[in-house]
Amino acid sequence: MVQHPIGSRLLRWSPGIILAVYALWVLLGCVESEWRPEWDSAIYILTARSLAEGTGYSYLGSPFFLRPPGFSYVLSFLFHGDRGFDFAQINFLMMLSSLAAVGIVYLALRRTEGQNRALGAVLLMATCPVFVSRFNWIQSDAPFLRCFSLRSFFLTSPSRNRGGASGPASVGRFSWPPPPTSDPWVSFSCPGWFFFC
């Protein structure tokens, strides 16, 4: 049976179209302009402000040691002096980080499981209530997930059976924990698991 070239091209590009529509929905309809005080977001905001004001990595006037300063350091560049933080801007960037993680997970899974299974798994992830409920949270979770997904992408090798084989043949292509590597690009691609926690 000969497949129509337009239909074949549409089928090939359908995951990208679906993910692009999802990204537009998230960025245009889900970004909030106010701060959502969830979990440790206040700590990140206050330590970022202290870094921006030149008073060191401190929380309520005392040095802070519970976690590395990486995420707070990044947030400090979004502090606008007397105007404080623009939370719409921060929430938008957090959304971009979450969407980047979704895209990288799709690319990593597509290399081992094929297009259809990768899209199905990513749609489950992107619509998971736990994942969606953390939209607009100023947390290190989104940058961490993006870095972890990027590392997984570098550590996966393309499968010869891209249709998504089942059974023993499909086991081990995308494993946890990932195997060690001597590739310097992989080694330096994801120090974020420590930097952003």
pLDDT at 190 over 80: no
Report DSSP state, residue 161: -
- Between CA 132 and CA 30 the distance in angstroms is 10
pLDDT in tens, 6-52: 667 777 788 889 999 999 999 998 888 888 887 788 899 999 999 99
pLDDT at 76: 92
pLDDT interval class at 89 (50, 70, 90): very high
pLDDT in tens, 113-144: 888 899 999 999 999 988 888 888 888 877 88
pLDDT in tens, 66-75: 888 888 999 9
Residues in the chain: 197
- The per-residue pLDDT of the chain, averaged, comes to 77
Distance from the Cα of residue 184 to its chain's centroid: 22
Taking residues 93-100, report their average pLDDT.
90
55-64, 119-128, 156-165, 178-187: which range is least confident on average? 178-187
The two counts, helices (H) then strands (E), for the chain are 9, 2
- Between CA 164 and CA 125 the distance in angstroms is 18
pTM of the complete model beyond 0.85? no
Strand, coil or helix: 9: helix
The answer to whether residues 18 and 122 touch, using CB atoms and an 8 Å cutoff, is no
Residue with tokens 């870095």: 147
